[in-house]
Structure 1
Amino acid sequence: MPGRLLTALAAVTLASSGLVATGTAQASGKHPATSPADSPAASTASTAIAASATAVPRHAVTGYWQNFDNGATVQKLKDVDDAYDIIAVSFAEATGQPGAVTFRLDPAVGYGSADAFKADIKAKQAAGKSVILSVGGERGAISVNDAASAKNFADSVGGLMDDYGFDGVDIDLENGLNATYMTQALKALHERHAGVVVTMAPQTIDMQSPQNEYFKTALGIKDFLTAVNMQYYNSGSMNGCDGKVYSQGTIDFLTALACIQLEGGLDPSQVGIGVPASARAAGGGYAAPSVVNAALDCLTRGSGCGSFKPSRTYPGLRGAMTWSTNWDAANGNAFANQVGAHVHGLP
């Protein structure tokens, strides 16, 4: 899931609103004031959002499953730790048709047939998990930039959902995104699959302002968006919502950047913290489980904060994501055991 952003990007000037005006690929060398969410109106909105993805718990752990072997533990879906509520299968691939995607099992993961893979999807779903298809990655070359490619995207993703039984889609496009047509594509997909689970894994620079294309897409599908699990890594230092620059891998980086999304229009239930499962899983920005848990407590409870403390709490925060379940397994499932348990214990 590494991106390719430089520390220099943090020099972007903040707008008067306090926000900058202006994703997730194959990893390791190759998303105490009273909170607005506590108000009756916000509670109603949160309930409506949650109803669009009933399979996803209030606080969820997302993990990317690698459909390839890059040195991490090779897994089948049935091997993914039970702590993961949303499993994002990585990745769908572009076809020769603009916007359209396809999916092929890599022989390296050991499935003898597509039917065996589909059976594992059903087993995870029977255990209360959501299995979605991730589109993009660092090397993904999928472009949805007009009405025709938007239709192709929606049709192909919908077809793969029907064929494999996927619960939804993860948008992990790291080479640009057109908000107008991606929003159009995802709305068309939602019309076809009303309960679709939709997640996103933008890079930090993509969520610095509601005016950015990724952020606009998230806001454009807010009525059914499940979660934005921004990649808080491979980023270098970035601006927080208070206008200060924070270094990746720290609690302040996680909380001050999450604040931009939380105060920029997304419901707390649509915001998750995305981190590498180990130092080997990304080029930079690894945060130990204790740091991730402290950031979760800071945002949801107002406790355990670093130098940055949000002006309000967000008890409805969706949870956390990691790249990847495979790298987590190679690290003794530390993320699943420590962060997973903590997420499920949030208020």
Structure 2
Amino acid sequence: MVGYLHASFANGAGYTKVADIPDSWDVINLSFGEPTSVTSGDIRFNRCPATECAGVESDADFKAAIAAKQAKGKKVLISIGGQNGQVQLTTTAARDTFVSSVSAIIDKWGLNGLDIDFEGHSLSLNTGDTDFKNPTSPVVVNLISALKTLKAKYGQNFVLTMAPETFFVQLGYQYYGSGPWGGQDPRAGAYLPVIHAMRNDLTLLHVQDYNSGSIMGLDNQYHSMGGADFHVAMTDMLLKGFPVAGNTANMFPPLAASQLAIGMPATTNAGNGYVGPAEVNKALDCLTKLTNCGTYVPRSGAQPNLRGLMTWSINWDQYNGTREFSKNFDSYWP
């Protein structure tokens, strides 16, 4: 189970110390590293100040708690981006600064790797960039290059995860970039070349199945948030693969089930698209066992190796002391 920790801001959910994170969480994404400017590539991780986050621990305690989590087999990553952290690596200089600044954060806190949570206008495809296997847009090419450099620097144990929105991934089934004649949103499907280029180095892809519009699934029907079907249809696209922009000669290949987790909000406060434990379990039953399926039945068959769930966020799960999301996960996958 993957959870985001509000480590640099309060966000209304209250501050949770790293030492107080329940052992339910296997991957902890420190949120967020943000750039000094949109195109600088210079990523900084500023811990939440005590004036904003009551009870925030000292730097020494923060670092010690990270090491204690890792001693239990947990992975602690720096998540880059978020809603406010627009990152556009438009130049090779920005790419190189990204590598050095992210490395500095990883080394300072002794982290296991990196989560890419680029949202908004961070990634888009230039007009004419139509082949996800051979991208030409600098922001995409430079990000891929930076991630490959970081993976090579830290070696096989480097954990790389991504948390794109559906707009940047599954929407690519219908639309890719600005389209063959221009005029479409150039961000449509813009994560696909990054995911594809890094597929052999990608530990986990957990698309945000929340704050999403309706998206067409492999059944050519539109699926909307709020129930198990949305999670099943969106995840099945990654398990089965799909033609990009409907072109059957240009297939986005499937990812391994062990590389996929499903992104969900932990509570109604955390984001649009919350579903209760019963619907979460229906989605997991359908994807892993082909039982309890609703109107959408996965084209990819039963996938018992599906890796797990991601949620925004650890803090919201802790809020009011309910821990509904993590307790349900623990009971489903003991």
* Normalised-by-shorter TM-score class: 0.7 to 0.9
Identify the match of residue 20 of structure 2 among 76, 79, 82: 79
Q: Deviations over 1:272-327 (max 9, x none)?
A: 11111100111x21111221121112111111111101131222111101100000
Structure 1: how far apart are the matches of 2:259 and 2:141?
20
Judge conservation of contact 1:100–1:156 (CA < 8 Å) in 2.
Answer: yes
Judge conservation of contact 1:229–1:272 (CA < 8 Å) in 2.
Answer: yes
Cα offset, 1:86, TM superposition: 0.3
Judge conservation of contact 2:17–2:57 (CA < 8 Å) in 1.
Answer: no
Q: Deviations over 1:223-271 (max 9, x none)?
A: 1101111111111322112211112021110000111111222111111
Cα offset, 1:82, TM superposition: 1.0
Matches within 5 A, 1:268-347: 268-282=257-271, 284-311=272-299, 312-331=301-320, 332-342=322-332, 344-345=333-334
Structure 1: how far apart are the matches of 2:12 and 2:44?
24
Cα offset, 1:191, TM superposition: 0.7
Letter in 1 for 2:151: H
Verify: 1:267 aligned to 2:256, yes or no: yes
What is residue 220 of structure 2 aligned with on the other side? 243
Judge conservation of contact 1:219–1:266 (CA < 8 Å) in 2.
Answer: no
Verify: 1:205 aligned to 2:205, yes or no: no
Judge conservation of contact 1:251–1:306 (CA < 8 Å) in 2.
Answer: yes
Taking structure 1 as the reference length, what is the TM-score of the superposition?
0.78
Cα offset, 1:340, TM superposition: 3.6
Letter in 2 for 1:105: R
What is residue 98 of structure 1 aligned with on the other side? 40
Verify: 1:64 aligned to 2:52, yes or no: no
SS in 2 for 1:279: coil
Identity of aligned residues (%): 39
Judge conservation of contact 1:63–1:323 (CA < 8 Å) in 2.
Answer: yes
What is residue 22 of structure 1 aligned with on the other side? none
How many residue pairs are counted as aligned between the two chains?
283
Taking structure 2 as the reference length, what is the TM-score of the superposition?
0.81
Change (3 A) 1:215 1:304: same
Cα offset, 1:146, TM superposition: 2.8
What is residue 227 of structure 1 aligned with on the other side? 204
Which structure is richer in relative contact order (CA contacts within 8 A, separation 6 or more)? 1
Judge conservation of contact 1:145–1:182 (CA < 8 Å) in 2.
Answer: no
Cα offset, 1:70, TM superposition: 1.9
Cα offset, 1:142, TM superposition: 1.9
Q: Deviations over 1:61-87 (max 9, x none)?
A: 000000221221321011112111000
Q: Deviations over 1:48-104 (max 9, x none)?
A: xxxxxxxxxxxxx00000022122132101111211100000000212571120111
Cα offset, 1:213, TM superposition: 2.2
Unaligned 5+ runs, structure 1? 1-60
What is residue 143 of structure 2 aligned with on the other side? 182
Cα offset, 1:138, TM superposition: 0.6
Judge conservation of contact 2:15–2:56 (CA < 8 Å) in 1.
Answer: no
Identify the match of residue 112 of structure 2 among 167, 172, 176: 167
Letter in 2 for 1:244: Q
Structure 1: how far apart are the matches of 2:259 and 2:192?
12
Identify the match of residue 194 of structure 2 among 217, 221, 240: 217
**What is the Cα-based RMSD across aligned positions, in Å?**
1.6
Letter in 1 for 2:23: D
Matches within 5 A, 1:100-179: 100-107=42-49, 108-109=52-53, 110-175=55-120, 176-177=122-123, 178-179=139-140
Unaligned 5+ runs, structure 2? 124-138, 177-188, 242-253
What is residue 52 of structure 1 aligned with on the other side? none
Letter in 2 for 1:66: H
Judge conservation of contact 2:13–2:315 (CA < 8 Å) in 1.
Answer: yes
Runs of 4+ in 1 over 6 A off after TM superposition: none
Judge conservation of contact 1:226–1:270 (CA < 8 Å) in 2.
Answer: yes
